[in-house]
């Protein structure tokens, strides 16, 4: 960016920033889907691919952070312009952590014992959690792209259902823990995956809350668990 830019160029730069945040969000959603596909299909090469591609999401947040800092330094933005930059910075941080959790799911998939996912009864709750977390993230990103507060509020309301499903996942893992060392190991790994998915839902809520702030200048925070 040049030292001095016109208002038109500045608006274009803000739009590019939002486009890059959206692209990062879509990349993280795709990473979750691939990680879950690797789990369900016992596809270790795909799990490794998810891990290898995590660097791309990390590179995207560096680019976004640099854009935010340059826009602040060169334009001293106020009001809505400043909120665009601040929320771009905050949302990209949540997205980066979501990408980390997709990496964690893929890594745990590689560590699962052979035959661990042969019986869907053992991990059907994981699939339900993943569907909920992915839907929350995609809705949150769409609300950001379209400035749709209604969609953002919908994501916030889904958090309670995500928590309920996580509690159910914990209960369903309990029987595995009584099946010897192998059962304890499998149950623990499945709980790790469930926890990663629950955290993805939390980050999706954070994104939705930042969207509401962007459009209304009002901060809302979910109650502490």
12-16, 87-91, 217-221 — which is least confidently predicted?
217-221
> Is residue 21 one of the residues assigned to a domain?
yes
Determine the 3-state secondary structure of 2 from DSSP. coil
Structural contact between residues 67 and 20, judged by C-beta atoms closer than 8 angstroms: yes
Over residues 50-68, the pLDDT tens digits come to 999 999 999 999 999 999 9
Kindly state the average pLDDT of the residues 190-214.
96
Kindly state the average pLDDT of the residues 5-13.
86
> Is residue 221 one of the residues assigned to a domain?
no
> Is residue 121 one of the residues assigned to a domain?
yes
> Is residue 207 one of the residues assigned to a domain?
yes
Look up the pTM and report it: 0.92
Over residues 16-60, the pLDDT tens digits come to 999 999 999 999 999 999 999 999 888 999 999 999 999 999 999
**CA–CA distance, 173 with 144 (Å, rounded to integer):** 36
> Is residue 99 one of the residues assigned to a domain?
yes
Kindly state the average pLDDT of the residues 111-130.
75
Tokens of 15: 């739009």
Q: What is the pLDDT of residue 2?
A: 45
CA dihedral for 179, 180, 182, 185, sign (positive or negative): positive
Question: With b meaning 16 or more CB within 10 Å and e meaning fewer, what string describes 133-171?
Answer: bbbbbbbbbbbbbeeeeebbbbbbebbeebeebbeebbe
CA Rg value for the chain? 19
> Is residue 77 one of the residues assigned to a domain?
yes
Domain CATH code at residue 139: 1.20.58.220
Q: Is the pLDDT of residue 99 over 70?
A: yes
Q: What is the pLDDT of residue 1?
A: 42
Q: What range defines the domain where residue 153 resides? A: 7-216
> Is residue 222 one of the residues assigned to a domain?
no
Phi, psi for 219 (deg, rounded to 5):
-90, 130
| Average pLDDT of the residues of the chain | 90
Tokens of 34: 């691939």
**CA–CA distance, 193 with 125 (Å, rounded to integer):** 11
Kindly state the average pLDDT of the residues 168-174.
82
Please count the structural domains in the chain: 1
> Is residue 114 one of the residues assigned to a domain?
yes
């Amino acid at each position: 960016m040049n030292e001095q830019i016109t208002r038109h160029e500045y608006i274009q730069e803000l739009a590019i920033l939002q486009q890059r945040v959206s692209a990062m969000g879509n990349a993280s959603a795709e990473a979750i889907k691939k990680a879950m596909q690797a789990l369900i299909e016992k596809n270790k090469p795909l799990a490794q691919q998810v891990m290898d591609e995590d660097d791309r999401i990390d590179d995207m947040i560096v680019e976004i952070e640099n854009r935010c800092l340059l826009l602040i330094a060169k334009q001293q933005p106020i009001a809505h312009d400043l909120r665009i930059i601040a929320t771009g910075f905050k949302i990209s941080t949540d997205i980066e952590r979501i990408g980390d959790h997709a990496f964690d799911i893929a890594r745990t998939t590689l560590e699962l014992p052979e035959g661990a996912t042969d019986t869907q009864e053992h991990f059907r709750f994981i699939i339900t959690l993943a569907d909920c977390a992915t839907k929350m993230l995609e809705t949150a990103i769409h609300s950001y792209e379209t400035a749709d507060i209604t969609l953002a509020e919908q994501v916030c309301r889904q958090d309670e259902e995500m928590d309920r499903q996580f509690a159910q996942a914990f209960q369903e893992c309990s029987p595995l823990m009584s099946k010897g060392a192998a059962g304890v190991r499998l149950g623990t790994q499945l709980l790790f995956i469930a926890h990663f998915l629950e955290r993805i839902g939390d980050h999706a809520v954070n994104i939705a809350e930042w969207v509401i702030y962007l459009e209304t200048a009002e901060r809302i925070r979910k109650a502490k668990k």
